[in-house]
A and B are shown apart, each in its own frame.
Chain A
């Protein structure tokens, strides 16, 4: 019964997690040193959301990937993302850094969704990551959902099971490794994905070629979304400085190591 879903996946780019990041202060507020030069990837949680969306829409329906970020970097990232899943790209040429206010991002995303041609809001599933590897606030999707009037929202989702009547069962992460299981009557709904259950799809060059035919025009059409100075004011942004003095313990028999660890656990 997923045939009718119109799935919009919100996801942007983040620095490759293996890169060393250094904060700097610029005229617009804090940012990252050499931010435009850093290799970027699609945010990992947004990636999970995209793969789940593609899986859900495989038997019908449609997937849009809505992404706000610097156009040039998005083009770079899309070269690889396009090979993973079929989607139509919607681009906002705006800031994607972690210090951008979620409220500003949510408004820009909601307005972009309202402008998607052919999107049936009564069949809308709004997907995204429940957090991001940049701001990591876990707040943008809910605000987008509210702006679109969507009252059924789920966060930390690892599973969606669509039922014959169009309803779906959702499993959300809660404390202590548990899941909250809910049944929603049907779309529209917001689902902020954790990791889901699907592995990352292998690269499919044919799919990439097909996607890129729509991605390039979408990138060219992208409207600039200038950052707005809100009431958020940063006093400082710093890297943690603490480096520990590591004591090496070697050439000890395992029994003595075990005894030392046990004494430490009990101390």
Chain B
């Protein structure tokens, strides 16, 4: 009989991230569909809070690799912890969230276990008594459904594809010993660099994604560029709506070409072929003129609207629900006025 292990790490505050709670739902559904036993494996500095947050998930056992040495996200110690948890559980199927910490370590763990891994899954179910999965290929341009015969099979699931599990309960995780050699401690985590609240423009949990295109830096009707004005308008809009900011590749690349740029834009904002494919319920694009590379970045946006001066814009036609043919500078200025009054 198959056994499913849900693998997760605690957050700094002690609980589990939303992405991990969604992955737990995927693992539970899979275990139920297969009639398999569910196990939970947690690693991190202090995991009791995380265990209690999901104590009601129905797992047959809770395993923990915890301690100060596992508090920071370091590959070598994370890999050792995950390997020990997988071995202790004896699971043939391992499900985890595709967050940065787990995405970095899980492939190496699969290699150590002699197993296989599939990442960024957007679907996971049971078909003909076996697990089946879906994920996108070629930068979200085509989707495949597949299965595997090899075990252990490690899987990481994308956020936004499953309901977050909600079922706390009292539970005492069973500690698992981890063999951590000195060679695993050559890397020291110095800390996190995060933008201050005022500078934070990438908000993965935002309701709205605002995508800025290169048009913001082009000459306007008066024959001049208005980059500083664009910078202020966009930032004002983001601060008032708490939207997340995305950018087309062309706008980000301008910074490397010596042109006047929107100062707070970096490659981290880029969506599309070589950027992110974020998941938000709504998306508003302004001054974007690309088609396929940008559409890829919008693959997982629910409702989409665009502001553009070109009614035939390939970015919007067939991809956006509504295309406003208007001057984005004027619209955003009016929108900010309305938001200030609201």
Residues of A within 8 A of B (CB): 14-15, 17-18, 20-21, 23, 30, 32, 44-45, 98-99, 101-103, 106, 133-143, 145-147, 151-156, 158, 169, 171-186, 194-195, 199, 230-240, 243-252, 254-255, 257-262, 264-265
Contact = CB atoms under 8 A, between A and B. Distances in A.
Contacts of B307: 257, 261
Given A18-B292, A133-B139, A254-B327, 20 more contacts: A15-B138, A44-B274, A45-B274, A133-B138, A136-B138, A136-B139, A139-B106, A146-B107, A151-B186, A154-B75, A176-B204, A177-B194, A183-B188, A231-B149, A235-B145, A235-B146, A235-B147, A244-B319, A258-B332, A264-B305
Interface size class of B (residues with CB under 8 A): 35 or more
Contacts of A142: 104-108, 111
A257 B75 contact: no
A172 B100 contact: yes
Nearest to B114: A103
Interface of B: 73-76, 79, 99-101, 103-108, 110-112, 116-120, 127, 132, 136-139, 141-150, 183-184, 186-195, 200-204, 207-208, 241, 256-257, 266-270, 273-274, 282, 284, 292-293, 299, 303-305, 307, 311, 316-327, 330-335, 337-339, 342
Contacts of B274: 17, 44-45, 133, 195
Contact of B323 (A23, A99, A101, A248): A248
B190 A181 contact: yes
Contacts of B137: 98-99, 134-136, 237
B241 to A, nearest CB: 6
Contacts of B100: 155-156, 172-175, 180
B331 A254 contact: yes
Contact of B203 (A23, A102, A155, A176): A176
B107 A182 contact: no
Contacts of A137: 107, 117-120
A136 B325 contact: no
A249 B322 contact: yes
A152 B187 contact: yes
A21 B108 contact: no
A84 to B, nearest CB: 15
B21 to A, nearest CB: 15
Given A142-B107, A258-B331, A248 B311 contact: yes
B9 to A, nearest CB: 12
B187 A182 contact: yes
27 contacts: A44-B274, A99-B137, A99-B144, A102-B107, A106-B111, A136-B120, A137-B118, A141-B107, A143-B107, A145-B108, A147-B111, A151-B184, A153-B76, A169-B190, A174-B100, A179-B192, A183-B187, A231-B148, A234-B145, A235-B145, A244-B304, A247-B323, A248-B323, A252-B324, A254-B326, A259-B338, A265-B241
Given A233-B149, A246-B323, A17 B111 contact: no
Contact of B194 (A138, A178, A237): A178
Nearest to B193: A179
Q: Which 10 A-B pairs have the closest CB atoms?
A: A177-B202, A231-B149, A139-B107, A258-B334, A250-B325, A254-B330, A142-B107, A178-B194, A199-B256, A195-B267
Contacts of A236: 144-145
Nearest to A198: B256
A145 B107 CA distance: 10
Contacts of B150: 230-232
Contacts of A99: 137, 144
Contacts of A23: 142, 144
A251 B112 CA distance: 62
Contacts of B116: 101, 103, 230-232
A240 B189 contact: no
Given A99-B144, A230-B150, A258-B331, A173 B268 contact: yes
Contacts of A259: 334, 338
